[in-house]
């Protein structure tokens, strides 16, 4: 994983926005002296949060995560060394900026046939069936919601504002309200405004989780707190029309825990016309692409191996706040307006997911995910492809698959073979197995000690957050596109390492820098750090801390984890011409000591 403490400069037409989570410091924390440089970071502990340690180093608590042992804090820069050297800390990162998926400024609901589910016929505008999202909890993690809007007030059920630290997540932007209307604008006659709309699932329980401020900007810890809230409060679906180009371990961990808790996570792929962004690229999230009214992939829609499904995202009409003119470059009108982006595609998928849950609330998030992909209308190349994923989400077909109409395929995939489990640290075990060859294979289910814990669309999985010196037993099964689950693999076991054991030394064997991309006056600077053990063998699973000095003298800090080849690559995007200097400031891996005196090089300079 790579995290970045720097403002990401992006075109307002196609970028990610996320919101800054400004949370009140808890009482009882040590307060550092004035004029001390304070760092904004997140920490994930191996087993449990060490509050005494945090007090000793003068940390100011912003948020303590509820579903995993992590915190978001501010602390004096002089205390960072204590964090880096604490063996009971699994990982830490700067709270990087992340962005709301701003949009390029209703046929969409009709195109996915949602109205045929809750209205019983083509072009219906009134709810006439019992499958309309009833009893399903959907959280829109965004800028908040105008819960006074007549189309949203009937289905608004609550939420939380992580920007202002209260339970009033009123939208002071417009983006969250627009997304919420696509998910669930209610059938609200006779109280409707002129131009009233009906969303994909108009009878859900709608929750607003405000993690983005009035400018649509902020940091990863706020988004992680919103995901954590969704898991702790029993949401069925969390809809995230937001993202960033760089990964974040705190968002990843929050997503892993939320998915394991049963939350279906739906996220926008991004609007750069490039690689799928984060958190959509994580396997726990459904990455959503955008299509236009002619079923073409939108020019701005991100794509790649993580892209799972598509939905309408061009010129989407939905709700906007009733009490203010919109913010940002598009300045939407009050009440209703048209926007474009994968932000707009994502709530279509979230709404259909709510309909599928509504048809059968006993389903798991993995079941619903499989239904969405197996019933999608195939677009582009036959079968899955990197631009449309499995195709366009289809509400009518998805609900029919749950509510009585199925493909008739009852043959399960073959038993998974070749499963291995390898302990890589005191808190992580890596699994791998032979890939199944069925043409209709959808995903794999992972079991730990007999309990289902996660899905994987590849033939590997990293189980994190484990207890040191503990033996865990695993099994894996394959699931096809009709939902048939094959026989579980033979079980294998592995024991996590001791949190205090030392098995050797490690050092930096190489730092390579190059210009990986040029866009007009801008340059992308790539830095690859290679790490080996004391015997010179490539060492995976090492957390690398790196500072990059920019041509203007400012510093950008990164953290990342080496792969099985002992390498991790960091990318600084849209840099100017000049001299860049990369310096490794630390290495960390359970059981290993960083021997900086053996480094082949600690810094590298590039004139770009």
Q: Catalytic: which of 173, 175, 178, 236?
A: 175
Tokens of 408: 């008739």
Q: Which of 310, 343, 499, 557 is catalytic?
A: 343
Q: Which two tokens stand for residue 344?
A: 């707009």
Q: Check if 343 is active-site.
A: yes
What is the distance between the alpha carbons of residues 2 and 478, in angstroms, rounded to a whole number?
Answer: 30
Which one-letter DSSP state was computed for residue 538?
A: B
Is 499 among the catalytic positions?
no
The Cα–Cα gap between 207 and 185 comes to: 13
Question: Which of 103, 142, 161, 213 is the catalytic position?
Answer: 142
Residue 322: closest CA among 185, 146, 145 = 146
Give the neighbor-by-neighbor strand order of the sheet with 307-312: 156-161, 205-210, 137-142, 237-240, 264-268, 285-291, 307-312
Cβ–Cβ < 8 Å for 414, 478: yes
Backbone angles phi, psi at 351, to 5 degrees: -65, -40
The answer to whether 519 and 410 have CB atoms below 8 angstroms apart is no
402, containing H or E segment: helix 395-402
φ, ψ of residue 131 to 5 degrees: the values are: -105, 85
Can you tell me the distance from the alpha carbon of 536 to that of 428, in angstroms, rounded to the nearest whole number? 23
- Backbone Cα Rg of the chain: 24
Count of CB atoms situated within 10 Å of the CB of 13? 16
How many whole angstroms separate alpha carbon 368 and alpha carbon 152? Answer: 25
The yes-or-no answer on residue 142 being catalytic is yes
Coil, strand or helix at 227:
helix
Task: Return the SS3 of 187.
Answer: coil
| CA separation, residue 461 to residues 346, 384, 428, 458, 592 (Å) | 26, 21, 10, 8, 23
CA distance 414 to 439: 12
Catalytic positions: 142, 175, 343
């Amino acid at each position: 994983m790579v995290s970045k403490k720097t403002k990401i400069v992006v075109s307002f037409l196609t970028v990610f926005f996320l919101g800054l989570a400004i949370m009140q410091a808890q009482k009882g924390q040590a307060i550092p002296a004035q004029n001390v440089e304070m760092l904004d970071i997140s920490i994930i502990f191996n087993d449990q949060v060490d509050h005494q340690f945090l007090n000793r180093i003068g940390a100011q608590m912003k948020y303590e995560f509820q579903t995993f042992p992590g915190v978001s804090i501010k602390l004096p820069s002089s205390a960072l060394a204590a964090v880096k050297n604490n063996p009971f800390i699994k990982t830490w990162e700067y709270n990087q900026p992340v962005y709301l998926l701003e949009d390029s400024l209703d046929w969409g609901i009709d195109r996915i046939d949602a109205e045929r589910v809750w209205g019983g016929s083509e072009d219906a505008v009134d709810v006439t069936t019992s499958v309309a999202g009833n009893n399903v909890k959907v959280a829109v993690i965004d800028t908040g919601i105008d819960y006074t809007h007549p189309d949203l007030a009937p289905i608004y059920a609550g939420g939380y504002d992580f920007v202002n630290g209260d339970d009033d997540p009123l939208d002071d932007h417009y983006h969250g309200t627009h997304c919420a209307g696509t998910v669930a604008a209610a059938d609200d006659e006779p109280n409707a405004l002129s131009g009233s709309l009906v969303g994909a699932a108009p009878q859900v329980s709608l929750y607003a989780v405000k993690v983005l401020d009035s400018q649509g900007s902020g940091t990863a810890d706020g988004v992680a707190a919103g995901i954590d809230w969704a898991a702790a409060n029993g949401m069925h679906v969390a809809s995230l029309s937001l993202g960033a180009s760089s990964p974040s371990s705190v968002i990843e961990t929050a997503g892993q825990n939320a998915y394991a808790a049963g939350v279906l996570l739906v996220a926008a792929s991004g609007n750069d016309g490039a690689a799928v962004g984060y958190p959509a690229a994580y396997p726990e999230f459904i990455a959503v692409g955008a299509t236009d009214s002619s079923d073409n992939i939108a020019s701005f829609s991100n794509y790649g191996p993580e892209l799972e499904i598509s939905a309408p995202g061009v010129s989407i009409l939905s709700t906007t706040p009733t009490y203010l003119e919109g913010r940002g470059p598009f300045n939407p009108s009050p009440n209703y307006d048209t926007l474009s982006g994968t932000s707009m595609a994502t709530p279509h998928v979230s709404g259909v997911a709510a309909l599928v849950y509504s048809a059968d609330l006993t389903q798991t998030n993995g079941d619903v995910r499989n239904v969405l992909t197996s019933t999608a209308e195939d677009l582009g190349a036959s079968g899955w492809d990197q631009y449309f994923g499995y195709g366009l989400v289809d509400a009518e077909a998805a609900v029919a698959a749950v509510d009585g109409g199925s493909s008739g395929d009852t043959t399960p995939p073959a038993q998974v073979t070749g499963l291995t489990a390898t302990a890589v640290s005191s808190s992580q075990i890596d699994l791998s197995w032979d890939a199944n060859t069925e043409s209709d294979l959808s995903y794999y289910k992972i079991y730990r000690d007999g309990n289902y814990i996660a899905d994987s669309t590849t033939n590997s999985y990293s189980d994190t957050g484990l207890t040191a010196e503990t033996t865990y037993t695993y099994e894996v099964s394959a699931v096809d596109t009709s939902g048939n689950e094959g026989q579980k693999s033979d079980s294998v076991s592995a024991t996590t390492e001791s949190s205090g054991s030392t098995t050797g030394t490690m050092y930096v064997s190489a730092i390579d820098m190059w210009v990986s991309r040029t866009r007009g006056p801008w340059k992308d600077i790539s830095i690859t750090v290679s790490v080996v053990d004391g015997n010179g063998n490539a060492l995976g699973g090492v957390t690398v801390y790196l500072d990059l000095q920019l041509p203007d003298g400012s510093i950008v800090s990164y953290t990342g984890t080496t792969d099985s080849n002992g390498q991790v690559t960091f990318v600084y995007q849209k840099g100017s011409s000049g001299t860049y200097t990369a310096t490794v400031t630390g290495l960390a891996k359970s059981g290993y000591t960083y021997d900086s005196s053996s480094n082949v090089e600690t810094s590298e300079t590039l004139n770009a």
